[in-house]
Every structure is written in structure tokens, then in C-alpha cells.
């Protein structure tokens, strides 16, 4: 897992936003993986995900507080969280400013539609080239459609690791585009789900809020986050 930490983006959100803006301006292709402990744990057991995390063309940012803390424990100077939801908001804002184009893939039909409405209202200069929900049978075919439209921004909301695997599989066919697997972000952007209150975010407890709201996540949380902490502690000891 150390090799994933080695590749982790370590600067502030402000600096990261500048990179997003610049790449959007220059049509520089980019694939952002927003990592939480689960991402790294999956990587340790899944060859395909591991390959994605180790690919020099892939940017890994610390989405979860667990990744930031884990990195710090291991001596990496990772400044702060770079949450996927913030990246999504930045891309909408900047895409609107630069009059770029976007394609959405993922989430339920209702969430996808509400997100489209939100973008049309609040980001009218960001042109939506297509939007398809995440429950279609043939996602490769969905991606073929995306390819035909050559968008500047592609947000894929299928959850980890499905979204990352899908993007990675097709990435080489694109010449430009900022690709991000945004997990549950469209649920929030559409107004369907609420993000944790600011105080939770500030205290690094957004995960706790999510667990309290969606207790079915507890098993997943244990399997990834708790085991992750033990793994990091073990790595620290053996350093
Ligand atoms: N989703 C989807 N198709 C699927 C499974 C999930 O489009 O087959 C969507 C789901 O509706 C939600 C997002 O993927 O909008 C995953 O959200 P979650 O909060 O679980 O993501 P994560 O915790 O991985 O960030």
C-alpha cells in the first residue's frame, strides 16, 4: 500500500483547483481518483485497481480524512482532504466560466435528471452533451456514446471501484477531458442527499455523519476503514 501513498497528491485544495482550471483551459486530459481508505484496501486485493493507482497518468487525491491521517502517520506531508464533491463543484463552476462541455454517467434516473436541471439553471454556460443514469446494463456502450461527443468534463458516479475501472478502460480513446469518479456526489449536487454540516467537515467527522445517516454503510466502513487503520499502524511499526 505504500506505493499508493507515494503517489498521493499532497498540496492544498486551492492549489489543486488551479491544476483543474489550467488543465480545463489547455484541454489537458486528466483522470482523478478520489481515494478513501476503501480505495487503497481494494487496491491491495484487486490487480486492476492497483494498476490504476500506480499509473503515472492517474492523479490520486485524498478524498477521505482516513487517507490524510494515514499518510501523516507514515510521514507524508499531505495537507488536507481533496473531496470528490468539491472537485465536482469546482468543475461545474470553472466549466461554466470557460464555457466548456460536460457528460454525466451514473446515479439513479431521478438524481441524474435533477442534476441536469441544476446545471442548466446554475451553470448555464456549461453545455451538457449527455447524461445517462448508472443502472444501464451495458456501461461500455454508454462510454462509447460519451466518446462520440468528446466532452471536456466527464463525471462518473457509480461508486468505487466500478467508476474507476470503467474510466480507465476507456481513457486511452480520449484525447482530452477531465475524468473523475465522483461516487455519491450527484446525490448531493441534485439536492437529493445532504452533505454533512460544516462543523462535521471541519472536525474531520464527515464519515461519522454519513454512517449515522446510512447505517447500512457500517459493514463496509469496518471492512475498509478499520482494517486500514490497523494496516497503517503495522506499516508504521515496520518502518
Ligand atoms: N450507482 C450507480 N449504479 C450502480 C451502483 C451505484 O449509478 O450500479 C450510484 C448510486 O446511485 C450513487 C453512487 O453510484 O449515486 C455511489 O454512491 P456512494 O455514496 O455509494 O459512493 P461512494 O461511497 O463509493 O463514494
Atom number in ligand 1 closest to CA 159? 24
| 3 state SS of 178 | strand
pLDDT score at 67:
97
CB of 161 closer than 6 angstroms to any ligand 1 atom: no
Partnered with residue 181 across adjacent β-strands are: 156
- 74 Cα–ligand 1 center, Å: 30
CB of 86 closer than 6 angstroms to any ligand 1 atom: no
* Residue 34 grid coordinates: 478520489
Residues of the chain with pLDDT under 50: none
Partnered with residue 60 across adjacent β-strands are: 8, 33
| 3 state SS of 232 | helix
- 239 Cα–ligand 1 center, Å: 36
CB of 186 closer than 6 angstroms to any ligand 1 atom: yes
pLDDT score at 239:
74
Please check whether residue 81 is in contact with residue 10, taking contact to mean a CB–CB distance below 8 angstroms.
no
Whose C-alpha lies nearest to ligand 1, atom 3?
A: 134
pLDDT score at 96:
98
| 3 state SS of 125 | coil
- 188 Cα–ligand 1 center, Å: 12
CB of 146 closer than 6 angstroms to any ligand 1 atom: no
Whose C-alpha lies nearest to ligand 1, atom 15?
A: 107
Q: Is 64 exposed, middle or buried (0-12, 13-18, 19+ CB in 10 A)?
A: buried
pLDDT score at 238:
84
| 3 state SS of 59 | strand
- 181 Cα–ligand 1 center, Å: 10
pLDDT score at 223:
87
- 26 Cα–ligand 1 center, Å: 30
State the sign of the Cα–Cα–Cα–Cα dihedral 135, 167, 27, 145: negative
pLDDT score at 132:
98
CB of 159 closer than 6 angstroms to any ligand 1 atom: yes
pTM, to two decimals: 0.96
Q: Rounded to an integer, what distance in angstroms lies between the CA atom of residue 114 and that of residue 132?
A: 12
Amino acid at each position: 500500500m505504500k506505493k499508493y501513498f507515494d503517489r498521493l497528491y499532497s498540496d492544498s485544495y486551492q492549489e489543486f483547483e488551479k491544476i483543474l482550471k489550467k488543465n480545463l483551459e489547455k484541454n489537458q486530459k486528466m483522470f482523478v481518483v478520489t481515494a478513501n481508505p476503501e480505495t487503497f484496501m481494494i487496491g491491495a486485493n484487486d490487480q486492476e485497481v492497483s494498476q490504476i493507482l500506480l499509473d503515472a497518468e492517474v492523479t490520486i487525491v485524498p478524498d477521505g480524512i482516513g487517507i490524510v491521517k494515514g499518510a501523516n502517520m507514515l510521514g507524508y506531508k499531505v495537507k488536507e482532504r481533496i473531496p470528490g464533491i468539491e472537485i465536482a463543484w469546482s468543475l461545474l463552476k470553472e466549466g461554466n466560466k470557460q464555457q466548456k462541455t460536460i457528460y454525466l454517467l451514473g446515479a439513479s434516473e431521478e438524481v441524474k435528471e435533477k442534476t441536469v436541471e441544476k446545471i442548466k439553471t446554475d451553470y448555464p454556460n456549461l453545455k451538457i452533451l449527455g447524461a445517462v443514469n448508472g443502472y444501464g446494463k451495458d456501461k461500455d456502450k454508454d462510454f462509447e456514446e460519451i466518446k462520440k461527443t468528446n466532452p471536456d468534463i466527464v463525471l462518473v458516479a457509480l461508486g468505487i471501484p466500478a467508476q474507476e475501472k470503467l474510466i480507465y478502460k476507456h481513457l486511452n480513446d480520449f484525447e482530452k477531458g477531465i475524468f473523475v469518479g465522483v461516487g455519491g456526489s450527484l446525490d448531493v449536487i441534485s439536492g437529493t442527499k445532504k452533505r454533512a454540516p460544516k462543523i462535521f467537515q471541519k472536525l474531520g467527522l464527515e464519515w461519522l455523519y454519513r454512517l449515522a445517516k446510512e447505517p447500512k454503510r457500517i459493514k463496509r466502513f469496518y471492512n475498509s476503514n478499520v482494517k486500514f487503520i490497523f494496516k497503517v499502524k503495522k506499516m508504521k511499526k515496520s518502518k
